[in-house]
Structure 1
């Protein structure tokens, strides 16, 4: 079964919009896990416009499933991860002013840097994943970094699927097979939703984990959080 990790950045955004502590991130996290999600994802950015670094420390003793921290491995981020020691760290090449994740790594160009960072995380018992565009050549270079997994950037799939082009999934399936052949695990993230996730998982069965935030929180406004998580779990199990 593909595991569901819920990205809670949007909950932090809502809290930060008014100040204070409503909605309460810790209580929200406990409910997400109680409703059946198998992981919690956070993506702290330098400006802390949603998840704050302090949130990550507060959440560490609360998360009882898998804790996944995403981010650009700048020194401050690396220090955070080494202190918190989540089960997984996902490396994302975000610019400081990026609204959201918008590109995967050039693993050939940044191979030496990624090797160094990944080695440090692996030595501390933290599973690593590299955020990648669906390009089989990038998978080959990613395998040479020592990473444990890749995370496929699925925005193009979601956009093309909505436009009726289901063949957009083929390059993801190719990359996933290449990763599995290289001994890498495969995750997926970005714009996956109740509308498109079932087909994606059927066509890319190697996917071990999906991280979903914006779509899931939006859908929860209509269906409620517990029902929405249940819907995702049903899609991922079938």
Structure 2
């Protein structure tokens, strides 16, 4: 059965809006776990616009499930990952001017570079994932890099306004999942998924994990974080394995 990992970046975004101490993403991570999340995701950006170094350290110390650290493939982030020792790292593209991650990481032509980058993490027992678009060439590159997982970027599907465009993006993702599975990669999905559009994947087998943050935190404003996480966990429990 696929599982849910909850991204708590938006809790930190709200805290940083006032540069204060509330709300606390560490508390949010703990509550998400109690509500059934099987992993906690944080994206430590180079500009530290939301999650801070202390958040990563404290969540790692208190996390009862798995910490997924999203990060750019920089020397600084590699050092932080080696020091913090999360269960997973996910390499993502990063641009300072973007509001949120806009697309998948380009792996083509970077196979040796990214393989070398991940090597010390793998040696320490940290699992890796690459956040990529459902492009066959990117998926083949991910296998060459030696990562265990990929997380397919679902943002283009989630953002599509017209039904034919959405169906076309959905089909790309489904074909990408099949290709990845066929060459030995494990597949997660994430970006822009919510309580409605995630139902498109109900009967798609082989998805290991859904990475969701914004939709859960938005619903939590109205119903509370416990209910918001539980509702998503229950939805995912009905999905194909």
TM-score over 0.5 for the pair:
yes
- Is the counterpart of residue 169 in structure 1 residue 170 in structure 2? yes
Instruction: Determine the structure 2 residue equivalent to 1:43.
Output: 43
Give me the TM-score of the superposition, normalised by structure 2. Answer: 0.93
Instruction: Determine the structure 1 residue equivalent to 2:80.
Output: 80
Matches of 2:108 and 2:47 in 1, distance apart? 29
- Deviation, 1:169, is 1.0
Gaps spanning 5+ residues in structure 2: where?
none
> Within 5 A, what are the aligned runs for 1:112-151?
112-151=112-151
- Is the counterpart of residue 108 in structure 1 residue 108 in structure 2? yes
Q: Is the 8 A contact 2:103 2:155 kept in 1?
A: no
Matches of 2:170 and 2:69 in 1, distance apart? 26
What SS does structure 1 have at the residue aligned with 2:64? coil
TM-align CA RMSD:
1.3
How far does the alpha carbon of each residue in 1:112-156 deviate from its partner, in whole angstroms, 9 at most, with x for none?
A: 211111222111101000111111121111101010111101011
Matches of 2:149 and 2:92 in 1, distance apart? 13
Q: Is the 8 A contact 1:5 1:38 kept in 2?
A: yes
Q: Is the 8 A contact 2:88 2:127 kept in 1?
A: yes
Instruction: Determine the structure 2 residue equivalent to 1:218.
Output: 218
- Is the counterpart of residue 152 in structure 1 residue 152 in structure 2? yes
Instruction: Determine the structure 2 residue equivalent to 1:197.
Output: 198
Q: Is the 8 A contact 2:3 2:210 kept in 1?
A: yes
How far does the alpha carbon of each residue in 1:71-108 deviate from its partner, in whole angstroms, 9 at most, with x for none?
A: 10111111110011111000002123332111212222
Matches of 1:233 and 1:54 in 2, distance apart? 28
- Deviation, 1:194, is 0.2
- Is the counterpart of residue 24 in structure 1 residue 39 in structure 2? no
Matches of 2:173 and 2:59 in 1, distance apart? 32
Mean alpha-carbon deviation: is it higher for 23-32 or for 4-13?
23-32
- Is the counterpart of residue 178 in structure 1 residue 173 in structure 2? no
What SS does structure 2 have at the residue aligned with 1:202? coil
Q: Is the 8 A contact 1:201 1:207 kept in 2?
A: no
Q: Is the 8 A contact 1:43 1:69 kept in 2?
A: yes
Matches of 1:59 and 1:231 in 2, distance apart? 23
How far does the alpha carbon of each residue in 1:152-194 deviate from its partner, in whole angstroms, 9 at most, with x for none?
A: 010111123x533334211111111111111111111100000
Q: Number of aligned pairs?
A: 236
Gaps spanning 5+ residues in structure 1: where?
none
